[in-house]
């Protein structure tokens, strides 16, 4: 007997498929930053399996042109933080 794949996934199942915490996915949806559409049926918010698959496929970079890696910028000397001078340290009050 063939196995039936679900067409709609719960937030928990979609998060598990993406290796995310469910709350992370809910936070993205609440901020309007979810990279794929969701549907609401009754009180439940569900993710279409096809939309999730399209999102994952877009991450593979097959459709995006390859970019050369950028070299790391030269390290800079740390800057002093403003604040109360320390006693006994060069440049501080003696």
3-class secondary structure, 1: coil
Run of H or E residues at 15: helix 11-17
Q: Which of 45, 39, 47, 43 is nearest to 8 (CA)?
A: 47
pLDDT at 92: 53
pLDDT at 60: 80
Could you give the 3-state DSSP secondary structure of residue 7?
Answer: coil
> pLDDT tens digits, the chain, 94 residues: what are they?
789 989 999 999 999 999 999 999 999 999 999 999 999 999 999 999 999 999 999 988 755 555 555 666 666 766 777 777 777 766 555 5
Give the model's pLDDT for residue 2. Answer: 83
DSSP per residue, 23-79: HHHHHHHHTT--SS--EEETTEEEEEHHHHHHHHHHHTTSSSPP-PPPPPPPP-PPP
């Amino acid at each position: 007997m063939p196995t039936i794949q679900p067409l709609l996934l719960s937030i928990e199942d979609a998060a598990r498929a993406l290796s995310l915490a469910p709350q992370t996915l809910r936070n993205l949806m609440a901020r309007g930053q979810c990279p794929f559409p969701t549907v609401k049926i009754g009180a439940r918010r569900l993710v279409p399996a096809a939309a999730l698959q399209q999102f994952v496929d877009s991450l593979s970079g097959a459709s995006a042109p390859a970019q050369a890696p950028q070299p790391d910028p030269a390290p800079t000397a740390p800057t002093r933080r403003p604040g109360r001078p320390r006693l006994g340290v060069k440049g501080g009050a003696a």
